[in-house]
Amino acid sequence: MTQYDTKYDVAIIGGGAAGLMCAIEAGKRGRSVVVIESGKSVAGKIRISGGGRCNFTNIHCRPSNFYSENNHFCKSALKRYGPQEFIRMVENHDIAYHEKTLGQLFCDNSANDIITMLVKECDWAGVKIKTNEMAENIKKSEVGYAFNISEEAIECASLVIASGGPSIPKMGATGFGYDVARDFKLKIVDPVPALVPLTFGEDFIFDFRDLAGVAVDVRVKCAKTAFDEALLFTHKGLSGPAILQISSYWRSGMDIIVNLAPNNNVFEELKAVKESSPKQEIHTALSAILPKRLAIYLCEHSKVWGPLADLSHKKIQSVADQVNAWQLKPNGTEGFATAEVTRGGVSTHELSSKTMESNRNPGLFFIGEVVDVTGHLGGFNFQWAWASGHAAGQYV
Ligand SMILES: Cc1cc2nc3c(=O)[nH]c(=O)nc-3n(C[C@H](O)[C@H](O)[C@H](O)COP(=O)(O)OP(=O)(O)OC[C@H]3O[C@@H](n4cnc5c(N)ncnc54)[C@H](O)[C@@H]3O)c2cc1C
């Protein structure tokens, strides 16, 4: 017997979105492929994604929906495998889907439809999947790379790291891929939680506890980036799509500016009500623009109360400013425990944007979330997983 029990053309560590897509493409090319997955079954994150319905892509996908130290890196892979390519696979499997909002495509029934499709495609492509297995002791070998799983020593010509990022550790997510990258001397862009609720100091939480559950459509801005989506007050701070989106751009110490009524010039509207209905209380007038609980809170917080006729323009302006340009300083995020993705990861300067192969370690590939490419909320992260998996699958 040789030093190794089994040889494959391609070994993929991680049976998530990116790893399975890569396996399918490599298998279709006639390569012998094994997927090593540490979980009991593959694709745990697909199963829980999109509230159980998997927002599997976004029809408006553009390179500007992704951030990275090198914003050009994602272009090549996305150009060769865009949303339409994945939609074609979904339709070939007769999976019912719908557009929810802003180009976001979800399964009608269940995220399991996507997993079943990927596993079936792997099967058709002759891919071997080994679950409940951790790859250990990864090293270079004569033909490429070698590693151990529980009772097997595996050698492969191409090794693909598709182990995701450390977000949601209770699902078994770890920084494994970064450790492999470091072992092979690749640079890592500091991984931090992204698409994550923002947290605030004790005073804020105390103040805003009564607003928990209130949702409002806002424009939230951090430095030069802005998003128009819903904001949700929670017991811990702020969440909802607008906050998750901006969290990926927020850095410690920065302020965010929230416009709670982006389609209203609140000062002008309150002035108009003052003229037409001078006896109307300011919080009542504001309740026509904002949820009532929030309107009352803002008036109390600004210490501006009573009939509009009794209020100076300066006082009305101070309330309007709270609505149209509310400035807040988060003290942190909820961290990897609830982050949907990880910003940062294996530096794109280390990889070929065409193949995802390490520039200094031929035969070693990194795909999906482990790479320093992070998508906006709305199906973009899966699209990156499909596109980067597909790109590597053509070359492994
Ligand atoms: C709650 C939640 C909801 C989300 N919803 C959406 C959504 O609707 N749309 C969207 O676009 N994105 C969504 N995302 C983000 C999306 O899930 C990720 O971007 C995507 O799963 C990344 O794919 P990946 O294959 O790179 O990594 P993963 O899907 O994380 O797959 C990595 C796999 O590798 C395995 N693994 C890890 N280490 C090892 C090891 N040492 N050995 C063997 N196997 C290992 C893991 O068990 C895992 O199965 C969501 C994320 C979360 C947490």
Instruction: Measure Cα distances from 121 to 47, 117, 163 in Å.
Output: 17, 6, 20
Q: Measured in Å, how far apart are the chain's first and last C-alpha atoms?
A: 26
Q: What is the pLDDT of residue 202?
A: 78
* CA 125 – ligand 1 centroid, Å: 22
Of the candidates 367, 365, 366, 364, which has an alpha carbon nearest to the alpha carbon of residue 383?
367
Q: Is the distance from CB of 301 to CB of 164 less than 8 angstroms?
A: no
pTM of whole model > 0.85? yes
| C-alpha of residue 34 to centroid of ligand 1, in Å | 18
What number does the ligand 1 atom closest to the CA of 368 have? 26
Please identify, by atom number, the ligand 1 atom nearest to the C-alpha of residue 370. Answer: 26
Mean pLDDT by 10 residues, the chain (396 residues): 83 98 98 97 97 98 97 98 98 98 96 98 98 96 96 96 95 94 98 95 74 96 96 92 97 96 97 97 97 93 93 96 94 95 98 98 98 98 98 98
Model pLDDT, residue 1? 45
Query: For the sheet containing 326-328, what is the strand order?
Result: 326-328, 256-259, 215-222, 225-233, 237-239, 198-199, 332-333
Q: Which CATH superfamily is domain 197-334 in?
A: Translation factors (2.40.30.10)
d(CA 357, CA 85) in angstroms, rounded, equals: 22
Residues with CB under 6 A from ligand 1: 13-19, 36-39, 44-45, 48-50, 54-55, 134-135, 162-164, 167-168, 172, 174, 176, 340-341, 368-369, 379-382, 385
Determine the residue of 20, 99, 163 to mutate for testing ligand 1's pocket, defined as the one with the most ligand atoms within 8 A of the Cβ atom: 163
For residue 299, give the 3-state DSSP assignment. helix
Query: Where exactly are the structural domains of the chain?
Result: 6-193+339-393, 197-334
Closest ligand 1 atom to Cα of 50:
8
Ligand 1, from 40, 49, 167, 244: best to mutate by most atoms within 8 Å of Cβ? 49
Please report the atom of ligand 1 found closest to the CA of residue 19: 25
Asked if the 6-193+339-393 domain carries CATH number 3.40.50.12780, the reply is no
Nearest to 83 by CA among 118, 53, 117, 56: 56
How many Å lie between the centroid of ligand 1 and the Cα of residue 147? 22
Phi, psi at residue 157, to the nearest 5°? -75, -40
CA dist 210 and 329 (Å) reads 20
